[in-house]
């Protein structure tokens, strides 16, 4: 086994490490869909489940709820529309907005996909069930939203020179 330098760096490389883990899981998810011949992509579940919950939403609504930029949402929605899962219609009361809704194909396929997502959730749960990992993520995200990584670093940097 080779040296794992990112692990060795501890807190310093936290962001790199979180990126490594998420990249690996997303990659594995993409491969799974491909192997099963399911024509969806790793992050589409977010849109599926969001529209399942809310019925219809605008691009901006979706971006806010996912904390994505709106161009990212547009890119995902365009692909899902091309794949026949979504349709858009102009909002009747506001000409700027688009109402995004699930198509019949999406509603038909959702129960099947839902089984996969439940299985994925269980797989992760098995690894982490005796831990407080999600609570720690809540904590970390809340801390970072109160004061950014840059602000924290600069504070420590300036303390060091006092």
Indicate whether 39 belongs to the interface with DNA (CB under 7 A). Answer: no
Looking at beta carbons only, is 88 or 101 nearer to DNA?
Answer: 88
Q: Is-contact 27 35, C-beta < 8 A?
A: no
CB of 110 to DNA, least distance (A): 19
Q: Residue 26, interface with a second copy (CB under 8 A)?
A: yes
The answer to whether the CB of 99 falls within 8 A of the CB of 58 is yes
91 lies in the binding site for a second copy (CB under 8 A)? no
Alpha helix ranges (H) inside 9-161: 14-35, 44-54, 59-66, 70-82, 104-128, 133-146, 149-161
Point out which span in 87-95, 113-121, 129-137, 144-152 binds DNA (CB under 7 A): 87-95
d(CA 83, CA 58): 19
Question: Counting contacts by CB under 8 A, is residue 60 touching a second copy?
Answer: no
CB of 2 to a second copy, least distance (A): 5
Query: By three-state DSSP, how is residue 85 classified?
Result: coil
Tokens of 82: 């091309």
Contacts with a second copy, 92-131, as mask; x by CB under 8 A: -----------------------xxxxxxxxxxxxxx--x
Give the count of beta carbons closer than 10 Å to the beta carbon of residue 73.
23
Determine, following the binding rule CB under 7 A, whether residue 61 of this chain makes contact with DNA. yes
CA distance 56 to 62: 10
Q: Which stretch binds DNA (CB under 7 A): 24-32, 105-113, 135-143, 149-157?
A: 24-32
The answer to the question of residue 160 lying near a second copy (CB under 8 A) is yes
- State the DSSP string of 104-123: HHHHHHHHHHHHHHHHHHHH
Binding region for DNA (CB under 7 A): 16, 19, 23, 26-27, 30, 41-43, 58-61, 67-72, 74-77, 79, 88, 91, 94-98
């Amino acid at each position: 086994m080779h040296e794992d330098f990112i692990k060795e760096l501890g807190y310093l490389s936290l962001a790199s490490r979180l990126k490594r883990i998420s990249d690996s899981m997303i990659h594995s998810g993409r491969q799974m869909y491909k192997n099963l011949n399911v024509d969806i992509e790793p992050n589409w579940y977010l849109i599926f489940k969001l529209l399942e919950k809310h019925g219809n939403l605008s691009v901006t609504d979706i971006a806010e709820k996912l904390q994505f930029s709106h161009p990212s949402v547009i890119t995902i929605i365009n692909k899902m529309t091309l794949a026949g899962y979504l349709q858009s219609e102009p909002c009747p009361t506001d000409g700027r907005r688009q109402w995004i809704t699930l198509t019949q194909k999406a509603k038909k396929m959702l129960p099947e996909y839902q089984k996969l997502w439940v299985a994925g959730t269980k797989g992760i749960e098995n690894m982490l069930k005796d831990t407080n990992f999600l609570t720690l993520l809540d904590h970390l995200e809340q801390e970072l939203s109160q004061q950014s990584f840059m602000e924290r670093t600069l504070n420590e940097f300036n303390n060091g020179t006092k």
